A and B are shown apart, each in its own frame.
Chain A
Amino acid sequence: MSDNNDFKGYSGPALEVLKKYNAMIWSDVELITDNGSFQGLILPRSETADDLHIVLKIPVGYNIGIAAGKITDIRINGRKEAHYKIPEKAFPYDYRKPRVKLLGTGGTIASRLDYRTGAVIPAFSPGELYGSVPELADYCNLETEKLYGVFSENMAPENWIGLAEAIGKEIEKGVQGIVIGHGTDTMHHTSAILSFMVQNSPVPIVMVGSQRSSDRPSSDAALNLIHSVKTAAESDIAEIMVCMFGPTSDIYGLLHRGTRVRKMHSSYRSTFRTIGDIPIATVSREKITPLRNDYKKRRHDNNVTINAVFEEKVAIVYYYPNMHPDIIDSLIKNGYKGIIIAGTGLGHVNKPLYPALDRARQAGVAVYMTVQTLWGYVQMYVYETGRVMMDLGVIPAANMLPEVAYVKLGWALGQTNDLEKVKEIMLTPIAGEITEREPSNGYLIYQGGLPEVEEFIKLNRK
């Protein structure tokens, strides 16, 4: 790999050529080749790219790659290193505005680009954030703290625990709202576990991220951040929420309950949807509009219950036809204490798995059933097979989403090994993860192509 910072990202033949002419990155050079010469600045190279080319930023701003093998000379004319600077301005203080704390875990709400690796470096200090999203000062006095710098997929139980504890401390200190910057891929896992670890919060706790990184002019980041800060500062909803785009247009965000939300599209801005229920509210720059009134209200005390524990030996098994019992057996053998099955239909797996489920029960593994349809309840009484499975110790987890049931089981097993107590925790609704009823507008996936749907889209899609 690369030799040192002077030749960052270069290796193999390309590195050799650069070294031969002592042409370090950021050198302003003329590359002389067999077919013409090329002028520009040598840029660092992505480490995943091949080792045959040298990247040149030519004066008009474009980058091009030149084959190292055809370079006959490099003339060095100077050096010009890039200095990233997010325009930093002191975040203005206004004593009339609420205190909001932004906790960072990674993600890219405000950022600059590291073109070498393609990574996005987050802007995070209040000054940096104010420099890129000055509107934030309209809503609050912002404080920030960077807890972690991890990609969403690398968020682990230790981060959840740390985050929950940090939230507890902030509430004790008396902040009026908390915003958590988070990558979007696992945002709903974190929102679910926080819903269990942090109970009875007196203030809004709002998770936010972006689907288009903020190094892009059309990014959703700034608006999401504005929406989340407004919610934290002004809303009377004292719950764990996810605040992301409602439509793909820059119009409003949705506030989803932390236990009922799920990322439903790999790339759309409006990827987060409340499943089996409706969101708590909409939020725009101007106002927060509740869609329901059964949410927990903001209080003016500093009391909160933090119960930050997690048993890591829990797994989700996504059932598929032809699943073999060894999948379950290997979990038992590896000492797993809990299994969430995402079953078909109302909550089914095939018969060959039954003996393995029986072995799980005998080994004291807590096994819960959810549905891979995502919408709807587990119902294991309807068919004989369901009843057989319940006899084998599989417990239906109502309409908990599979990921939610997963984090809740880890959290329950973190508190006790007594499976009866675990069952009580699992089946007692804490933060809306199990609802008594599914409203008829809790399942709306419009089918494109239908005339009435097309008409609706033409009039209302934004």
Chain B
Amino acid sequence: MYDFIFKPFSEMTNEDYQKVGFKSGLEIHQQLLTGKKLFCRCPAGHYSKDFDAEILRHMRPTLSEMGVYDGTALMEFKTKKDIVYRINRNTVCTYEMDDTPPFLMNDDALDIALGIGMLFNCNIVDELHIARKQYLDGSIPTGFQRTAIYALDGWIPYKDKKVKIVQMSIEEDSCREVSDIGHNRVYKTDRLGMPLIETVTEPAMKTPDEVAEVAWICSNTVRSTHQVRRGLGAAREDVNVSVTGGTRIEIKGVPKISLIPILTYNEAMRQWNLLRLREELNRRGITSETFKAESFDITKFMKKPHYAPLKSAVEKGFRIKSVVLKGFVGLLRWQTQTDNYFSNEVSDRVRVIACLTTIPNIIHSDSKGDNIPSSDWTAIRKFSNADDNDTVVIVWGNEEDSKTAVNEIIIRAKEATIGVPSETRQGSRDGTNGFERILPGADRMYPDTDLPPMQITQQRLDNIKAGLPEKYWLRHSWYKELGIPEDTIQELSISKYASLFKKAVNEWHVNPTAAAVILIQYPKRLKKKGFNIGILDEEILSNILKLFADGKIPRDAVLSAMEKILVNGFFSDDIISTPASVDEVKKEILNSIEILNNISLRNEMNKGIILMSILMKKLRGRFPASLVAERIAFNKKGISNVG
């Protein structure tokens, strides 16, 4: 039933994705633009490499409210990491280090979040309950993230349908990882505690491109508020993907929307290929009941290995162990993603859970490498009772870690008989993904007993609503109707001058395309010329638009008027040029012809163009170019008449 074979990314069609039952949803994380952090008064958005001190912590799993341990929690505890936090006293106080209870939630952040919730057509909750979401990886020193759902059940328009927004939460951002080697993980704490919202869509997207397109709509909507942070890391996507018969897998922290298609393609392929692997195992008679694996300590066979990783393992006094996967021959070379194999799945688990972070951390008999002489392989196979149908995996580490590794190899191999294990995965730049951790369930949610529930009043919502921008997608379609150039629509619809544009078009009757160009393209052009366009604020731009609407600045003079403002540093009436009289124009034409006559031209055909450019230098903004052209009877063939 899994007979479809994945094609290269560029060759996949919508029908192909339909065949495998591709389904994907988004969890979009967006930092909010506030001065301070969410639960303390530290400044937000100050990143630095310097640190004043380091703090060491460990994380232990705890019981959830519903009375059971969460799967991820137990896994993280197995890994037993020393977690080191680098702290800079300018960006971190005792709250982030969990030595001071939280302060009340930052109201600015909540206002922004609530506003975005309304833009996404959500139902806002009446009372906010702050929860603790456990993260035992240490990315938050408390071991949990303070987070609260504030909006549910919204939607955004996409194509001819609505994509449902399942829920939105406001939460504190986590640490940034510096390194994770062996049992030691180091974090920077500057980002920790910054306000963030998470927007969760239903898994309504049926192709990788659809996922990216919906991500763009969400991104543009939040950006249209101008109250969210921009730049690297300010917006991160978690993308969940499944195929028919597969499992909902989350790819965490995708930094760029443009990476989403290739990442979701590879994940769909991975799941599909794991399901095909299960089929192959079943064909070989291997099910979760009949699955068999054994492990052996083979350190004694490895006295003097020449393969560098094993050599260094022997030097460190590590144990070297073999795991025999019965009937698995060839399957560690089973392709999962582009240039990725089932052996990567096994190696990833060993890396993350057994903390054997130096890669390669396993070798196996399905790979035709020359890392171990074949005589050694024979000896190992014999010692491990492995026959030709079996695969032997070799792993090395200290007593404890090698033991954990052997267990994980067996666990992962056995999971292949079931299908796609629930886990979260991390995307790489090449579009593939690797294991991050077991997918946490609802069991890791605890109520935060440090903060009381908080009522959200209708009054508050009304106030926020009054300041909200018009919905991004409404603007978008209106601009289309107005015939605004495609390259300007996108930017204008999230621009902070979108409401000025509306006024200019509806009240001052400015030509829509002209208004869009003045508001979006001209500032960009001037910025390119090196001007600080920050001076062009709403007031100045509306002055310009009004002058333009009143005919006081002709269209071809707007750009130079704006430039003049930037040169002067302020708006003044002298940017309006006095219109030239017909006499003046005539005089200028005669002057210009004289100048032209003194220039020797290589091609007489260019005469008209050059004359126009000399003239317009004097007359731009003072006399319509079209009328000047008419007067000199300028046409492409040259000047036919001077009158």
Taking Cβ atoms with an 8 Å cutoff, the residues of A that contact B are: 35-36, 38, 46, 48-50, 52-53, 55, 57-67, 70, 82-87, 112-113, 115, 118, 120, 132, 212, 214-219, 222-223, 248-251, 265, 267-269, 454, 457-458, 461-462
Of B54, B58, B452, which contacts A462 at CB under 8 A?
Answer: B54
Contact B61 A115 (CB under 8 A): no
In the assembled complex, the Cα of A265 lies from the Cα of B94 at a distance in Å of 12
Q: Judging by beta carbons under 8 Å apart, are B60 and A222 in contact?
A: yes
CB atoms of B63 and A215 under 8 A apart: yes
With A and B bound together, what is the CA distance between A77 and B416 in angstroms?
A: 36
The reply to whether the CB of B444 lies closer than 8 angstroms to some CB of chain A is: yes
Shortest distance between the CB of B127 and any CB in chain A (Å): 2
Q: B126 is contacted by which of A46, A67, A214, A251 (Cβ under 8 Å)?
A: A67
- Bound form: Cα–Cα A218–B127 in Å: 28
A217:B148 contact, CB within 8 angstroms? no
- Asked whether A215 lies within 8 Å of B101 as measured between CB atoms, the reply is no
With a cutoff of 8 Å between Cβ atoms, the chain B residues found around residue A66 in the complex are: 125-127
Chain A residue nearest to B440 (CB atoms) is A61
Is the CB–CB distance between B452 and A49 below 8 Å? Answer: yes
Query: Is B339 engaged at the interface, CB distance under 8 Å to the other chain?
Result: no
Interface string of B76-118 (1 = CB under 8 A from A): 0000000000000000001001111100000000000000000
Chain B residues whose CB sits within 8 angstroms of the CB of A36 once the complex forms:
123, 152-153
Docked Cα-Cα span, A248 to B167, in Å, equals 37
Residues in A neighbouring B455, C-beta threshold 8 A: 50, 52-53, 65
Give every chain A residue within 8 A of B55 (Cβ-Cβ). Answer: 248-249, 461-462
Q: Quick check: B67 and A61 within 8 Å, CB to CB? A: no
Judging by beta carbons under 8 Å apart, are A115 and B446 in contact? yes
> Which residue of chain B lies nearest to A460 when distances are taken between CB atoms in the complex?
B53
Across-interface contacts of B127 in A (CB, < 8 A): 53, 55, 64-67
* Contacting pair A216 B62 (CB below 8 A): yes
Min CB gap A116→B, angstroms: 9
State which residues 102-150 of B face A: CB under 8 Å.
Answer: 123, 125-129, 131-134, 136, 141-144, 147-149
- B408-439 interface with A by 8 A CB criterion: none
Asked whether any CB of chain A lies closer than 8 Å to the CB of B445, the reply is: yes
Q: Is the CB of A219 within 8 A of B129?
A: no
A268: chain B residues at CB < 8 Å are 94, 99-100
Complex Cα–Cα for A268 and B93 (A): 12
Give bound CA distance, A59 to B52, whole Å. Answer: 42
Q: Verify B63–A112 contact, CB threshold 8 A.
A: yes
Q: Is A217 a contact of B144 with CB atoms below 8 Å?
A: yes
Given contacts A217-B142, A218-B98, A268-B99, contact A461 B54 (CB under 8 A): yes
Contact B449 A118 (CB under 8 A): yes
A251 to B83, CA, bound (A): 11
A256 to B61, CA, bound (A): 29
Q: Which residue of B lies closest to A218 (CB)?
A: B143
- Assembly CA distance A289 to B442 (angstroms): 43
Name the B residues within 8 Å of A120 (CB-CB). 449
A297-B131 Cα distance, complex, nearest whole Å: 48
Which residues on the B side are within 8 Å of A458 (C-beta)?
A: 51-53
Query: A83 to chain B: which residues have CB within 8 Å?
Result: 67
Q: Which of B51, B60, B68 has the most CB of A within 10 A?
A: B60
B53 contact set on A, CB distance < 8 A: 457-458, 461-462
Complex CA–CA separation, A86 to B68 (angstroms):
8
Q: Do B59 and A62 have beta carbons less than 8 Å apart?
A: no
Given A64-B125, A65-B453, A84-B63, is A115 in contact with B57 using a C-beta cutoff of 8 Å? Answer: no
| 6 A–B contacts from the bound complex (CB under 8 Å) | A52-B455, A55-B129, A62-B445, A112-B67, A218-B58, A267-B100
Asked if B638 lies at the interface with its beta carbon under 8 angstroms from chain A, I say no
A249, A251, A267: residue with the most chain B Cβ atoms closer than 10 Å? A249
